[in-house]
Amino acid sequence: MRIAMWSGPRNLSTAMMYAFRARGDCAVTDEPFYAAYLAETGLDHPMRDAVIASQPTDAAEVISALTGPAPGERPHWYQKHMTQHMLPVIPTNWMEDMVNVYLIRHPARVIASYSARRERPSRADLGFDRQLELLGKHPGPVIDSHDIRQDPAAALGRLCAEIGLDYTPAMLHWPAGGCPEDGAWAAHWYGAIHASTGFAGAEGPLPELTGKAAALAADLMPVYGAMRSKALRTPQN
């Protein structure tokens, strides 16, 4: 099974990659279109040069790899993707051969977390609109990071059942310190996950945003709400 997990930034996406890697039967790939996205847009992201040097910048080459043999000939392959990386010039027809899953998070939490590492994110930086577009074209289960944090076993069990994959409690724990598949950008973004050995506890109250950050969160709420209405449910949510 090839699982394409579509997320925006600061959205539990790396923890989910670690969870699937911890299964033992699943290869993982970390944001394979990042270098192609930076090369195409010219955006100045943290560690830009290192990212571009670490991956192909030709999207066609990336797609060829993602649809080729799985790393290590593993029976399953979890591919962590950022929706904002899927620029209009990048074809999406290859997604038809994937089990597409959409990982969402409340925009206020995303903006607060992102802004702590990179100031003043734009709407496009956060990938909400592109995520909803991809969901419309390539349907798949939607899972909310809030629900995963609330009860990881129940949420991952529900997701695995939905996509036809056996759930294992091994998905709830991983070694501290990162993994070899981490992207070149891990040193800037992955500090908290590298210190972890499992999912953090349930989320607290929403962060209080002000000014442009608050306005951006409000603008994104209808998009989040449309995806949240499709999210998988467990007895706890």
pLDDT of 236 > 70? The answer is no
The reply to whether 50 falls in a domain is: yes
CB 199 within 8 A of CB 153: no
- Average pLDDT value for residue range 202-222: 96
pLDDT band at 237 (very low <50, low <70, confident <90, very high): low
Q: How many domains does the chain have?
A: 1
Summarised one tens digit per residue, pLDDT across range 61-94 is 999 999 999 999 999 999 999 999 999 999 999 9
Lowest mean per-residue pLDDT among 118-122, 123-127, 165-169: 118-122
The CATH number of the domain holding residue 41 is 3.40.50.300
> Domain of 214?
2-228
The reply to whether 236 falls in a domain is: no
Query: What is the H or E stretch that residue 107 is in?
Result: helix 107-115
The reply to whether 237 falls in a domain is: no
Under DSSP, the state recorded for 205 is: S
The reply to whether 234 falls in a domain is: no
